[in-house]
C-alpha cells in the first residue's frame, strides 16, 4: 500500500495536539508507503519487509 490512510490518521492525530514520533508497521509490503511516509517527515519503522518473509508480488495477487 502507499500509506495514504496512515498519513491521514497522522494528520488527524496532530490536529488534536499530539506529536508523532514514528509510524510503525509489522510488515512493510514495499509498495511505496515507506517513501511516502518518510517524505512527509515521519520516521517509519517496520519489523519485517515482504522480502524478509519471502513474499513476492505474484504471491499477493
Taking phi over 0 as left and psi of -120 to 50 as alpha, with beta for the rest, 22 belongs to beta
CA distance 9 to 30: 20
Model confidence, pTM: 0.83
Going residue by residue through the chain, which has 61 residues, state the pLDDT in tens, using 9 for 90 and above.
899 999 999 999 999 999 999 999 999 999 999 999 999 999 999 999 999 999 977 555 5
Residue ranges covered by each domain of the chain = 4-60
Amino acid at each position: 500500500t502507499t500509506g495514504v490512510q496512515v498519513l491521514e490518521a497522522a494528520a488527524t492525530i496532530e490536529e488534536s495536539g499530539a506529536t508523532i514520533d514514528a509510524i510503525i508497521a509489522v510488515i512493510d509490503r514495499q509498495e511505496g508507503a515507506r517513501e511516502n511516509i518518510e517524505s512527509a517527515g515521519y520516521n517509519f519503522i517496520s519489523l519485517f519487509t515482504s522480502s524478509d518473509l519471502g513474499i513476492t508480488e505474484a504471491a499477493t495477487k
